[in-house]
Amino acid sequence: MRAIAIHASQFGRHLELLAAMYRLRRRVFKDRLDWSVSVSGEFELDVYDTLGPTYLVLMAGVGEPVGSVRLLPTTGPTMLADTFPVLLGGTPAPHDERILESSRFCIDTSLIAEQAANRLNRATFILFAAMMEAASAARADSIVTVTDTRMERILRRARWPLRRIAAPQQVGSTMAVAGFLDMSEQTLHTMYEQADVNGPVLVPADLVSAAA
Amino acid sequence: MSPVECIFQEFIDAIQTATSADEFERVATRLTQRLGFQRFAYLRLTGETPMLISSYPKSWTSRYFQLGYQQLDPVVRRARAEHALFSWGGEASALAGNREQRRFFDEAMTFGIRSGITVPIRGGFGRMAAFTLATGDRDLHPERLVADGKDLIQLVGLHFHCYVAARLDVLSASKLIASELSQRERQCLAWTARGKTIADIAVLVQIAPRTVVFHLENARRKLGAASIAQCVAEALRRGLLS
């Protein structure tokens, strides 16, 4: 298993992978979670996808991606500041080039049905490690995110605890919470150990096409 | 890259710089031609006022809204009911539908709109939009293009929708309120854009150099820029200094 990083300047070259990721997001966020997101046909996209995102797409061998996450700079509009300011508890939203915002984290559980728990955990750990690698490649040292208390528990179990900004709030049908995910050599190595890998899990998209 | 991949990359590169309806029209017009079509129309139906960005003849689009054709238009009706992209027009639809709808297609054809492909978009909270590529060319068969470029056209339509939403309404509106620059901030930025140093600006505006720094820093924060240079570029791009 490995994660591939794609930026807007590489969308054309990786059109199939990109389409597969938007498809995965539609299945998870519209069909399964029934979020109020924009969809067309099999795809899901929102306004934050227009702000220069980097996508991390998790692959298990060849075929469909099994997970993905979106990273955005916090120097422009963010989900936390512009869509969920209620989760800030009155504190100013982070706008800092050393902080990225992550969103649309998902693992497609239906594709990892066999050997259930173990593989699911491993996919989650690898995508977490990929987030840390991508953030440090962008010279960021922290990730801010809007999530829910269920995901917060997963993060705590993965030993990458969310540092809450304010108390959780009921948003629609979920208990939403915003917080920071701090990064260090130590958190990264802990994640590698849990994922049972020796080193980097993130592959730049351009190397993937060179190898193919 | 394959031709399809090139077209998509070119589209993404161009749409990232679009900030006005005219610029969105130019980006989509270029894409339309690259895909072998003649016209495009992006129609968003939200609440009372429809939003249209298109390269259709103005004589047709103004007549369309005057007569409330968006209620009648079989393409819009189908886009409301379906999720996947579809092709329409040509011989088949000249025979289908009720008399009113057949007359509508006949009329559209006199404006050079004969057949096309439409991407239906659901915007959440019951909003809907449709992105259409159309042609008057009898020999172009949209249904064949659907087979090859289905994903491409669907992704283009959905990206167009999200970029329009991001640049022309939600984010830009909230951003503009949040980022309204003060008179002093605009002045300091405008002088910076013309190559003046902080010491120069202090003399020109008759304030202390550290006050110049203060205003520039505030402007930088309001525009979400990482540096003063980026802040100047951003202010110029948004037309805040004119």
Give the pLDDT score at A211. 42
> How far is residue B58's CA from residue B8's CA, in Å, rounded to a whole number?
27
Q: Mind telling me how many Å the CA of B69 is from chain A's nearest CA?
A: 23
Instruction: State the average pLDDT over residues A13-28.
Output: 94
Average pLDDT over chain A, rounded to whole?
90
The tens-digit pLDDT sequence of chain B (242 residues) is 888 899 999 999 999 999 889 999 999 999 999 999 999 999 998 766 788 999 999 999 999 999 989 889 999 999 999 989 999 987 766 667 788 888 999 999 999 999 999 999 987 666 789 999 999 988 877 777 777 788 999 999 999 999 998 888 754 444 444 456 788 888 899 999 989 999 999 998 889 999 999 999 988 888 878 889 988 988 887 777 76
Residue among A12, A36, A51 minimizing CB distance to B1 = A12
Angle at A40 between CA A14 and CA A37, to 5 degrees: 100
Give the pLDDT score at A201. 95
Q: Mind telling me how many Å the CA of A140 is from chain B's nearest CA?
A: 13
Instruction: State the average pLDDT over residues A38-64.
Output: 91
Query: Which residues in chain B have their CB less than 8 angstroms from residue A43's CB?
Result: 154-155, 158
Mutation for testing the B interface, residue in A38, A72, A95 having most B CBs under 10 Å:
A38
Q: How far is C-alpha A84 from the geometric centre of its chain's CA atoms?
A: 17
> How far is residue A38's CA from residue A54's CA, in Å, rounded to a whole number?
19
**Could you tell me how many CB contacts below 8 A there are between chain A and chain B?**
103
- The residues on B that touch A, with CB distances below 8 Å, are 1, 4-10, 12-13, 16, 83-85, 119-125, 151-152, 154-155, 157-159, 161-163, 165-167, 170-171, 174-175, 221, 224-226
Give the pLDDT score at B173. 47
Cβ–Cβ below 8 Å for B12 and A45: no
> How far is residue A14's CA from residue A4's CA, in Å, rounded to a whole number?
10
Give the pLDDT score at B117. 94
Longest Cα–Cα distance in chain B = 77
Is pLDDT above 90 for A177?
A: yes
Residue among A9, A49, A95 minimizing CB distance to B221 = A95
- Locus of tokens 């980006």: B27
Contact between B150 and B183 (Cβ < 8 Å): no
Tell me the three state secondary structure of residue A182: strand
Is pLDDT above 90 for A189?
A: yes
Query: Which residues in chain A have their CB less than 8 angstroms from residue B167's CB?
Result: 50
Question: What count of residues does chain B have?
Answer: 242
Q: Mind telling me how many Å the CA of B204 is from chain A's nearest CA?
A: 30
Mutation for testing the B interface, residue in A40, A44, A46, A70 having most B CBs under 10 Å:
A40
Single-letter amino acid, residue A77? P
Give the pLDDT score at B15. 96
Contact between B220 and B228 (Cβ < 8 Å): yes
Single-letter amino acid, residue A119? R
Tell which wins on pLDDT, B91 or A17. A17
A127-148 burial code (b ≥16 CB/10 A, e <16): bbbbbbbbbeeeebebbbbbbe
In angstroms, the Cα distances linking A157 to A65, A68, A146, A190 are 24, 20, 18, 12
Contact between B146 and B157 (Cβ < 8 Å): no
Cα torsion B185, B188, B192, B194 to 10°: value is 110
pLDDT tens digits for A126-157? Answer: 999 999 999 999 999 999 999 999 999 999 99
**CATH pick for A2-211 out of 1.10.3720.10, 3.40.50.620, 3.90.550.10, 3.40.630.30:** 3.40.630.30
Mutation for testing the A interface, residue in B1, B9, B46 having most A CBs under 10 Å:
B9
Contact between A78 and A89 (Cβ < 8 Å): no
Cβ–Cβ below 8 Å for A13 and B10: no
Architecture in CATH of B3-172: 2-Layer Sandwich (3.30)
**Cβ-proximal residues to A28 (8 Å cutoff; 6+ apart), any chain:** A106, A108
Cβ–Cβ below 8 Å for A40 and B154: yes
Nearest CA in chain B to A16: B151
- How is A101-140 classified by DSSP, letter by letter? EEEEEEE-GGGG-TTHHHHHHHHHHHHHHHHHHHHHHTT-
Contact between B65 and B80 (Cβ < 8 Å): no
Cβ–Cβ below 8 Å for B6 and A43: no
Domain ranges of chain A: 2-211
CB neighbour class for B66 (10 Å; exposed up to 12, middle 13-18, buried from 19): exposed
The enclosing H or E element of A170 equals strand A169-171
CB < 8 Å & 24+ apart, contacts of B18-21: B18/B163, B18/B167, B19/B167, B19/B172, B19/B237, B19/B238, B20/B168, B21/B53, B21/B168
Q: By the CB < 8 Å criterion, does A88 face chain B?
A: no
CATH fold for the domain made of B179-237 = Arc Repressor Mutant, subunit A (1.10.10)
Cβ–Cβ below 8 Å for A15 and B170: no
Q: By the CB < 8 Å criterion, does A8 face chain B?
A: yes
Residue among B12, B119, B125 minimizing CB distance to A11 = B12
Single-letter amino acid, residue B131? F
A39 φ, ψ (degrees, to nearest 5): -130, 155
Instruction: State the average pLDDT over residues A103-116.
Output: 76
pLDDT tens digits for A191-211? Answer: 999 999 998 999 987 777 544
ipTM surpassing 0.85: yes
Most confident stretch, A24-38, A160-174, B144-158, B214-228: A160-174
Is pLDDT above 60 for A212?
A: no
In angstroms, the Cα distances linking A49 to A18, A103, A114, B109, B155 are 12, 10, 32, 36, 12
Cβ–Cβ below 8 Å for B9 and A13: yes
Contact between A141 and A183 (Cβ < 8 Å): yes
8-state DSSP, B25? H
